[in-house]
Amino acid sequence: MSDEMEIAEMSVVDALKEVLKKSLIYDGLRRGIHECAKALDRRAARLCCLAKDCDHDEYVKLVQALCAENGVHLIMVDQGVELGEWVGLAKLNPDGSVRKCVKCSCAVVTDFGEDSPALNVVLNYVKSQQA
């Protein structure tokens, strides 16, 4: 019963953070436009995150087109700095707070790692967005 309550209380953003961290641990995360475009083109991608504040419209069009062509789920993230922090492109202080963070416009998950409640929340969100 407590697992069901945790799933219900977990927001999509928190679940996405956890999924990205877990895929980074399992070496299933591609960061940056070059690596993401290669993974999308090879049809190795399973989930794509794109920042809404990306400076280059060409990048946005390319990633959206590759996702649509290959049937990859696309999640739009508000800020690239947040996405960079979530995918491990940040330096941390000893107390765990972020000291310096690099902006990341695109990240692709090729391997989710292990099943988790957070993964189920993200996949349910993506399916509800498609319908």
pLDDT, tens digit (0-9, with 9 covering 90-100), for 75-117: 999 998 888 888 888 787 788 777 788 888 999 999 988 888 9
* Residues 58-64, mean pLDDT to the nearest whole number: 92
E-state strands within 1-80: 29-31, 47-51, 73-77
**Residue 6: other Cβ atoms inside 10 A:** 11
Which residue type sits at 121?
V
Confidence of residue 12 (pLDDT cuts 50, 70, 90): confident
Q: d(Cα 54, Cα 77) in Å, to the nearest integer?
A: 10
Exposure string for 46-70, b = 16+ CB within 10 A, e = fewer: bbbbbbeebeeeebbebbeebbeee
Q: d(Cα 38, Cα 66) in Å, to the nearest integer?
A: 10
- The shares of helix, strand and coil residues in the chain, as percent rounded to the nearest 5, are 50, 20, 30
Q: d(Cα 40, Cα 47) in Å, to the nearest integer?
A: 9
* Residues 38-64, mean pLDDT to the nearest whole number: 91
**Three-state DSSP state, 44:** coil
Supply the pLDDT for residue 102: 85
Supply the pLDDT for residue 131: 62
The model carries a pTM of 0.82
Supply the pLDDT for residue 69: 92
* Residues 8-13, mean pLDDT to the nearest whole number: 75
Confidence of residue 9 (pLDDT cuts 50, 70, 90): low
Confidence of residue 126 (pLDDT cuts 50, 70, 90): confident
Supply the pLDDT for residue 66: 93
Helices (H) and strands (E) in the chain, counts: 6, 6
